[in-house]
Amino acid sequence: MVRATPLVGTADQGIVFTSGKYLLGGTTTTVNPFTANRNVNLDASNLSFTSNGGALTPVKITGGAAPQLDVVGATNITGATTIAGTTLINSANALNTTIGNTGTVAINGTAVNVAGITGITGATTIAGTTLINNASAANATTGINTTSGTGAVTIGNAATTTVGLNGVAINATGATTVAGTLTQTGAGNQVTLNGNVDATNGLDVTTAALTANAGALQISGGVEDYLKVYTTLNKSDVESIMAEFSSDLSGRTAQKRLAFEITTLVHGEARAIGVQRVTSALFGEVPVTDLNVDEIALLATEIPSIGGSTNVIDALVESRLAGSKGEARRFIKSAAVSINGKKNNNRPAD
């Protein structure tokens, strides 16, 4: 006796029977739902979803007020993956989360908010406008390369890159190197170095030149203190000197007065006046012919000089101002030689 049993009613909880076949899933989202928790034991095998036929979304989880996918353990996501909505990665424990290994990780969108302590290890490139510690909270600390490693932190790469550091204060602790040109722009904006940049050497320019345009470099608390400590000038004299100096920094009035006062204390006023006049002669402020015999002797210690009577051509060669008599003649002919402050382009006798 053969009994016919319809198979339509045998499909349940995720399985449908149609056209003589059992099929996984249904044609709608409400057909034969699972009514209890189920486990799939893969043992030592893998469960793979492929889209060889061209499916753009091979796996999609929807439904409910807030559908949630919990992935426990090490998880590798390969290929383009879109996650919409709030996504928590490793939010329940203290294990490490690694994003990217040898490839590029791109975060595109209006904003990326990272709350709490965030560690980024390895070479990381951030393109576009990036705000670090931009909230209004006070005393928030942001550390870049704070571990004991010796790696370098590079901000900006291209030659035209502009890096703006905006805020009340920027504190650089430890050895800080600025490669290239450090430019201060904007009226009233100043680069201020408080205290010693280096505890031993101060502002150390031992192996390089510290260059500033005339009147552009001002070191506060230097020359004024020296005038007060190392000279016999009274308070009103120092204030008057500093007022004149402040009105014209390029004139270096305070430094010149300091040199004069110290020379006076060590060598006497007459010597100080002589040094002052010789210095003025060197810079063309006083004609050499106005110097006395002692001052000319002092001047001779500061510039190339020869003794005895000789003609101009021999004098230029012997003092090594010209490499040869022919060069000396060319200097004279082109009016490059002055005698007692007067140009002379007449060829003198040999």
pTM (predicted TM-score): 0.34
Per-residue pLDDT of the chain (350 residues; tens, 9 = 90+): 666 666 666 777 778 877 778 888 777 777 778 778 888 888 888 888 787 887 877 777 776 666 677 777 777 777 777 776 677 776 666 666 666 666 666 666 555 666 666 666 666 777 666 777 666 555 556 666 666 555 666 666 665 555 666 555 566 666 666 666 666 665 555 565 544 455 444 555 555 555 666 555 555 457 888 898 889 999 999 999 999 998 988 888 899 899 999 999 998 998 888 888 888 887 778 887 888 888 888 877 877 777 765 788 888 888 888 899 999 899 988 888 887 767 766 655 45
Residue 139, domain member (yes or no): no
Is 47 domain-assigned?
no
324 in a structural domain: yes
158: Cβ contacts below 8 Å, ≥ 6 apart: none
Within a domain: residue 195?
A: no
Cα gap 281→271, rounded to integer Å: 15
- CA–chain centroid gap for 341, Å, is 49
The strand pairing partners of 24, in sequence order, are: 15
- Domain-located, residue 316: yes
Closest to 104 in 3D by CA, of 76, 79, 125, 80: 125
- Residue 12 to residues 5, 26, 28, Cα–Cα distance (Å): 16, 11, 14
How far apart, in whole angstroms, are the C-alpha atoms of residue 165 and residue 186?
A: 14
* Largest Cα span, the chain: 149
**Residue 29 forms part of a structural domain:** no
Query: For 247, which DSSP code?
Result: H
Give how many domains the chain has, as a whole number.
Answer: 1
Which residue range forms the structural domain that includes residue 325?
A: 312-343
Instruction: For residue 317, tell me if it sits in a domain.
Output: yes
Residue 35: partners with Cβ closer than 8 Å, 6 or more residues away:
13
Distance CA 7, CA 195 (A): 91
Residue 178 lies in a domain: no
